[in-house]
Structure 1
């Protein structure tokens, strides 16, 4: 299969591109930098320099690749700017889907979120509505998730991978990353998430497992699928384990809880045959 990967040098992309090449696919990776394209070529894939906000340039890249499937693994997290990331989700996905449709791509795999569901008790499955009525900035993020999934759905076979919180190489949760700095008390640490040791529940996914799900999603039916590990957990359980793995102090535990922080269920992904290499953060954080 001919596959174009946008966001090929991000935390998931760096895991994903080699997997696709190893599986025998003809891969074109898109990066915004010449250094990124050099890394892509080193994996055995084709590479192109491009910006998803450059509609005409993106159309030329996608047309030249003539992909059967397009994967959107784009993020804009370097500056910890949630509004910029939401813009990328909406405008970037719009441009990429338009280019993919024009090039005749029949499948689309999208990086989405498993922590944008409405508040409730217990891990959310894919039937739970997105939290679009929430106050900003959360409501804006949920709106952006809904918009990008609807846009992706314009391609008939579109799978929205609702990922849990990423950890592993290249993420904020890696050794020396933004979370370690925040836990160590660095007031300038760029971090958008929550690291409170409270009763708020999170679901995690290692970037290698996120990538393996994207590969498998090439054969999945259209629609959203939660891609998370097997153990949603309260912050007072996972934060001390992460802090120990990073070699930094853990914050004091509390009984507070963010209502929408409920975790997510991976039952649907497992029913389709996906199995995480890192089924729990308990061992994954230190691997």
Structure 2
């Protein structure tokens, strides 16, 4: 299958490209830099320079690749700028979908998130609607996610991968990532997450398992699907465990959570055959986040 990966050098994309190649797919991946395109080529794929915010350039890149499916792994998180990442979700997704339409592509697999659900008591399944009651800044995040998913769904088949919090190489939760810096007291660390060990429930997924889900989703039916591990957990449990794995001080546990901080369920993904290598953050943190 001919596959076009937008965002091929990101935390998920850089692991996904070699998985696709190993599975026998003909892969074209995008990067905004010459170094990035060379990295893609070193993985056995075709690397092309393209910027998600350059509609015409992206249209040309997709048309030249003539893919059968587009995979959307575009983010802008390096500077922890929520507005910039929201722009990628809105404008970048629009440009990618329009490019896919122009090239006659009817299938997209798109990266979304699993913490945009409406408030509730337990972990959310895919039938729970997105949060329509949030105040800013969360309202902006949810609106951008909604725009991403609705735009992707304009294609005939759109598989919307609602990832949990990504940990592992290249993420904020890696040994050299922003969370470790924030917990170590570096005030300038760019980080949009929380360092409060409270009752807020989160769901995690290792980046390699996230990439594996994108590979598996090439032939999944359309619609949203949570890509999270088996154990949603409150921050007062997972944050001290992660701090220990990272070798940084753990915050003191406190009470309290927002009603939307509820985690997510992975029954649908598992029902489609997805089996995470790291089914719980408890073993994943220790094995994959410890300083190596």
Question: What TM-score, normalized to structure 2?
Answer: 0.97
Paired position in structure 2 for 1:124? 124
Unpaired segments ≥5 residues, structure 2: 288-292
Shift of 1:259: 1.6
Distance in 2 separating the partners of 1:259 and 1:187: 28
Paired position in structure 2 for 1:219? 219
Distance in 1 separating the partners of 2:157 and 2:177: 36
Alignment of 1:183 onto 2:183: yes
Distance in 2 separating the partners of 1:195 and 1:7: 28
In the TM superposition, what are the counterparts of 1:1-287 in structure 2 within 5 Å?
1-287=1-287
Distance in 1 separating the partners of 2:95 and 2:8: 17
Unpaired segments ≥5 residues, structure 1: none
Distance in 1 separating the partners of 2:249 and 2:120: 31
Shift of 1:104: 1.0
Root-mean-square deviation (Å): 0.7
Following TM superposition, where does structure 1 have runs of at least 4 consecutive aligned residues deviating by more than 3 angstroms? none
| Contact 1:132–1:140 under 8 Å retained in 2 | no
Distance in 2 separating the partners of 1:133 and 1:143: 11
Distance in 2 separating the partners of 1:133 and 1:142: 10
Shift of 1:256: 1.5
Distance in 1 separating the partners of 2:176 and 2:17: 24
Distance in 2 separating the partners of 1:95 and 1:208: 27
Shift of 1:154: 0.7
Shift of 1:229: 0.3
Shift of 1:195: 2.4
Shift of 1:105: 1.1
CA offset digits 1:66-110 (Å, max 9, x no partner)? 000000100100111101101110100000000001101121000
CA offset digits 1:128-185 (Å, max 9, x no partner)? 1111321111011111111110100011111000000000000010012110011111
Distance in 1 separating the partners of 2:286 and 2:29: 30
Distance in 2 separating the partners of 1:194 and 1:133: 21
SS in 2 for 1:39: helix
SS in 2 for 1:274: coil
Question: What TM-score, normalized to structure 1?
Answer: 0.99
Shift of 1:220: 0.5
Shift of 1:258: 2.0
Aligned residues: 287
SS in 2 for 1:100: helix
Distance in 1 separating the partners of 2:186 and 2:117: 30
Paired position in structure 1 for 2:290? none
